[in-house]
Chains A and B, each alone.
Chain A
Amino acid sequence: MESMKNILLAVLLAAGIAVPAAAQVGNVYIHDPSTIVMSDGKYFTFGTGSGGLMSEDGWTWTDGAVRPGGGVAPDVVKIGDRYLVAYSAGYPGTEGKTRGVVTTMWTKSLDPKSPDFGFSEPELVAWAGDDEDCWAIDPAFLLDPTTGRLWCSYGTYFGAIRIVELDPATGKRVEGNEAVDIAIDCEATALMYKDGWYYLLGTHGTCCDGTNSTYNIVCGRSRSVTGPYLDNMGRDMLEGGGRMVLSAGDRATGPGHFGLYVEDEGVEKMSFHYEADFNRSGRSVLAVRPLLWKNGWPVAADPFKEGTFEIESERRGYSLELAVSFVRLQGAMMRGFGRNSDGPVVVIEDQKLEDVVEGWPEGDIDIRVGDYMFRPHQRWTVTAVPDAGGYLGAPYYKIVIAGTERALAATSDAELTAVPKFTGAPEQLWRIEQLTDGTFRIMPKSVPGHEGEQFAIVCTGDSTVALGKYDFNSDNSKWNFRDR
């Protein structure tokens, strides 16, 4: 099968088709995925219809998740040591006929192999009559981190998006609670809270049209969970407003059904489906992207693309490099501080790998941080490693000096080195995650002797580097991949 995979890859590359490393692998076929949650050490998401997907590492997915009830577009939230699952049933009608209900049910585990797996009887929490301006499908939860109150939005293009309050202890509708209209002309909503703002995300555009689907994810924000939710133009989502979070691109159309997964402070990821993945027969697939925040608005990050980069520290702006002797360029020395010269203008070639590599030690080479001079010991090629697994939303990467197999690696004393040849060992595999501010953290899959502990590449000084604890509030932990 591996050879078949490589053949397919070769064919696609030969056809000039970029294959992003940011597509999940395995059985990724799902529509209307619920917010990804972790249970029993595994990731789970559920879609329309019965069942769902599960993953050990967040990169390779299989079927096998079990959700009773069928229906459409479920959502999941963890409350205490239990999981509350909502799903909806309904069907589109004409002549004023639309129906839908939202139900919730509990389980202590989402893993069918767990003795704690087992769902409670569904409770009806929201509905719409067959001639109302609402269709009660596509539920989404928000457990308000500021109050502990539980909210559920629902609705689709037919009329309004509504929000109701549920009891986080029972999953039932709070007695006497009245539904509030918060948006129109969207569906697949989601709610989240950040820095004093409530965000309502919804999907605009045409659903379910395969490669022509114009589905896209937009959002508005409010100081109150019940709205009004305004977009960046001050337009109410009850007036159709919404600021773009993600639209089609990277050979896939129809992003929809946003879900937030907070991995760590400053490490946020959004799950969604593409209605058509052009590299997978136009099928509907699960996708995960880093979520960035720009001026108070969520934006989907572009998928990390393989390439050759400077790896620049956010701390000082210096760059990751091999600790080798600097080789000065010869000739073309400074000519009088830019004064006019009668000599011809010539192009100076870059320093080449073969100009310097023989001077490098043959064994392991230390890593440091230095002024970026686009020299061979500062240029790193980053490529995904097939079949090495991954983490939520991305595969592991190898990071080698461009033109060589000399690979960045973690050492047993939590330092960095460059080994002569990439072997695929866990300490040579790197987890690269874009942070909410657009910078990256870089973490080894494993540090010898420290398995199970998490390390990131951190600056210890302007010009020195080691492995240490990731801290979003320190620029020591942040890096930029630049091609210059």
Chain B
Amino acid sequence: MKRIVVLLAVALGLCAAASAQETLNLDYHHPVLEDYFAPAAAAPAAPDAKGFIRRWTLLEPIAKPEIRSNTLFDDNWLNTEFAKVYFEGQNEMEPKDGQKVKLDKKNRLTWHSYDSKRYNVKLYRFATGLGLHPTEGLFLAFTVVNAPEDMTVRMAVGSNSASRWCVNGEEVLLMSGDRRMVVDDCVSRKITLKAGRNVIRGSVINGPGMSDFCLRFLGEDGKPVTNLTVTNQ
């Protein structure tokens, strides 16, 4: 807890308030990466009690400064955007913690493996926690879920904002529009998690504002699937 001085300099005329320019002493906790993430443990993880997958390997955000508004995110725009390849092996590699990828001659990004401390993966805080620009960007997420046997399930995702999700190389969800993260917002058709390893890849794109996602699998009874292990390394 730090004592800081917040200068309430209201920048927009729309928001000018009587208290503008007032100086306040506010005590509060400044968010840090550790509030949201822990380094991925060596031991395999399990979904949490509600089935949410919390272990992910996340690529530092690919800057998309041209996204000034999330109203861009219609199906056609997203299909074009998500088809872009930014680095070699983007759709095939199984990234390791600390592994770097080369976007171009000047820009390299790093993969980071974390266990989210919350059911949702706060991409915005992943970026700010690493001192990176958190908005107007494309986040890539990777994990591996291990099924004890062939399982018929549905993938349930909430994302802020638009996103695409693939299981074993097949797209199972495209979530278009200026979305807020809502648990079970979109649920895939029935898919089969094969016995053993299943590779999950997600792409979450956002303009201004917060960005996060949550993902779990639902069984044929509609209940969360928890008898999986998660080993993204």
Contacts and interface: CB of A to CB of B under 8 A. Distances in A.
Interface of A: 48-49, 68-72, 87-92, 94-96, 99, 101, 103, 122, 124, 127-133, 157-159, 184-186, 204-206, 209, 212, 214, 235-236, 239-242
A184 B128 CA distance: 19
Contact of B18 (A70, A127, A130, A186): A70
Classify the secondary structure of B's interface with A: loop
10 contacts: A48-B14, A69-B17, A69-B18, A94-B133, A103-B18, A133-B31, A158-B210, A235-B182, A241-B183, A242-B182
B14 A49 contact: yes
Interface residues of B, number: 41
Contacts of B18: 68-71, 103, 122
B191 interface: no
Contacts of A94: 133-136, 208
B219 interface: no
Contacts of A103: 17-19
Given A94-B135, A94-B208, A185-B180, 4 more contacts: A71-B18, A92-B208, A95-B128, A186-B180
B178 interface: yes
Nearest to A213: B71
B77 interface: no
B28 A91 contact: no
A96 B128 contact: yes
Contacts of B6: 99, 127, 129-130
Given A96-B128, A103-B17, A129-B26, A206 B178 contact: yes
From A68, A124, A206, A242, name the one whose CB has the most chain B CB atoms within 10 angstroms: A206
Contacts of A91: 10-12, 15
Contacts of B160: 185
B15 A89 contact: yes
A69 B14 CA distance: 11
A240 B212 CA distance: 12
B12 to A, nearest CB: 5
A71 B19 CA distance: 9
B15 A184 contact: no
A90 B71 contact: no
B185 interface: yes
Contacts of A71: 15-18
A99 B71 CA distance: 24
A236 B118 CA distance: 14
Nearest to B125: A133
Nearest to A206: B178
A184 B18 CA distance: 28
B8 interface: yes
A124 B26 CA distance: 12
A209 B71 CA distance: 8
Given A91-B15, A157-B209, A212 B71 contact: yes
A48 B16 CA distance: 10
B41 interface: no
A471 B209 CA distance: 49
A49 B10 CA distance: 13
From B14, B17, B133, B180, name the one whose CB has the most chain A CB atoms within 10 angstroms: B17
A186 B31 CA distance: 21
A95 B127 CA distance: 9
Contacts of A159: 210
A90 B15 contact: yes
Contacts of B84: none
A444 B158 CA distance: 51
A69 to B, nearest CB: 4
A197 B231 CA distance: 43
Interface in B67-96: 70-71
Contact of A70 (B4, B16, B24, B28): B16
Contacts of B209: 92, 157-158
Contacts of A133: 31, 125, 210
A211 to B, nearest CB: 12
Contacts of A204: 180
